[in-house]
Structure 1
């Protein structure tokens, strides 16, 4: 099986989530059955887990999530959530796009804040007991502001008299991100990596750096000196994707980035992302995202 054969790959239409420029969600309730969800989205995500006993795989890192943890997930990072049955789950989740807060970051001279967070190898913060109320209050404030009868379009555009509310949301979001980052850089990561984790991380790093060339199981076996069926098994076990699915998704993620942030022609993006013809690129992109590359670019 090769990465260039779409008939051998499984595509999930709903695992790519297109989100508004800003949103806040809250969930509080029991988990009555085990769930596993793999997805990525075109926005950053910041989660506060008030009550949780779950695992989250973000790209090449496994996080054990417990009460009082805060986790940052970068845009387009594939992640998988594993919920444990019979447990109670309470969390706030914030999604926001780069363009929602970029102008404020630039104005204040801290344009690198998001980049600095994104470049951290470890993005989970175990909040000190003395500060948990401080962070929870910020999440609550943002949730309250977001819930004041304003839909995502109004928040994005600041129209219909909501400019003040939008400004408040951006201000509190900036405070939250800044405090999260400064707490994160002063926190020693607490995690353990198994041999399987390390192998999968090496494979993901390789795919992320070489998505533009042909990748297949035989070449990975030769490069990493592990049986290809073993590599396939542990990769699927830890990420929820087969190796070939991940490689194809990585190509589509890079195509999405280029469509969104560059003026390259679609055919140039096609070849830059490792596809050998434009028809194949359109077919795979549409299967994965639900829309064509042209429509995706028009959406901004």
Structure 2
């Protein structure tokens, strides 16, 4: 099964989010990848977690570390109630937490013995639970962003302390991730515009050949395909509204309607119009 792209705009605005998910507000089950880091604390026996062609039976106290662009999904147990805290963090924000002595990328590498699942219990579990519950509590009237990012820093320190096993992320690889984070930020901001490889190369001060090669090496996806998938994914959200399909094509960076139609149909298996009709039909069924 091919992994579908899931952008952060589908889940949150800004550069981070913490959500409590249950079977009632769980994401649809499908293999997906995204351009941000994710940390998940499981409060119950949720089901089977799949990542990078491996499966893990999830139990209370498990924490999942999910690298950006790693295909994954949770096949949750529909007959059981569970809760999970899901923390999503943009790569640029995660990198900003690094210091000369602590590189958070060290715990998101496949060479780390605690990646992608590690288990905590007792007081160790309680400290994570207490911290994440603070995201659900009433926030201060002023400085909410400062307060929440302080919690994020605390979470990062817990994770690094508990998960770091001595494996260092190569400095060159760290620079590659930083470049990709810069590209991701720029693409997110300018998705409706012309995003030629030459323009992207100019923005990060490297050659077009270099950014394409490094992007593919780190993410396993081509830069061009990543941009197209982001545009198609954003188009699916517009199609749930009333905006004309021609305008949607323009808003997501396709200046040619015919090319948008063909590309959308290729990636989604149905035309934009059929996608809209199916969404409207399913919504009508739910409301009846």
Q: Are the equivalent residues in 2 in contact too, given 1:44–1:95 (CA < 8 A)?
A: yes
1:28 to 12, 22, 30: 22
Say whether residues 1:115 and 2:105 are aligned partners: yes
Q: Which residue of 1 aligns with 2:128?
A: 135
Q: How many matched pairs?
A: 193
Using a 3 Å threshold, how does the CA distance of structure 1 residues 30 and 169 change in structure 2: closer, same or farther?
closer
Whole-Å separation in 2 of the counterparts to 1:267 and 1:130: 50
Q: Are the equivalent residues in 1 in contact too, given 2:23–2:78 (CA < 8 A)?
A: no
Whole-Å separation in 2 of the counterparts to 1:103 and 1:269: 21
Q: Per-residue CA shift, 1:116-164, capped at 9, x if unaligned?
A: 111224232211223322210011113436xx49xxxxxxxxxxx85x3
1:124 to 107, 110, 117: 117
Whole-Å separation in 2 of the counterparts to 1:144 and 1:266: 46
Which secondary structure state, in structure 2, belongs to the residue aligned with residue 48 of structure 1?
strand
2:147 to 168, 174, 186: 168
Whole-Å separation in 2 of the counterparts to 1:257 and 1:35: 27
Normalised to the residue count of structure 2, the TM-score between the two structures is 0.54
Q: Which residue of 2 aligns with 1:85?
A: 78
Whole-Å separation in 1 of the counterparts to 2:206 and 2:135: 37
Higher relative contact order (CA 8 A, sep 6+): 1
Deviation at 1:183, TM superposition (A): 2.2
Whole-Å separation in 1 of the counterparts to 2:80 and 2:25: 6
Unaligned runs of 5+ in 2: 166-176, 186-203, 217-221, 233-248, 254-288
Aligned pairs for 1:210-221 (under 5 A) are none
Q: Which residue of 2 aligns with 1:59?
A: 52
Hey, which bits of structure 1, 4+ residues long, moved more than 3 A?
A: 9-12, 28-32, 101-106, 255-274, 284-287
Deviation at 1:56, TM superposition (A): 1.4
1:74 to 67, 85, 108: 67
Normalised to the residue count of structure 1, the TM-score between the two structures is 0.52
Q: Which residue of 2 aligns with 1:43?
A: 36
Deviation at 1:76, TM superposition (A): 1.8
Unaligned runs of 5+ in 1: 1-8, 150-160, 187-252, 275-279
Aligned pairs for 1:1-300 (under 5 A) are 12=4, 15-19=5-9, 20-29=14-23, 36-106=29-99, 109-112=100-103, 114-119=104-109, 120-121=112-113, 122-144=115-137, 148=139, 162=142, 164-185=143-164, 259-260=183-184, 262-266=204-208, 269=211, 284-285=225-226, 287-290=228-231
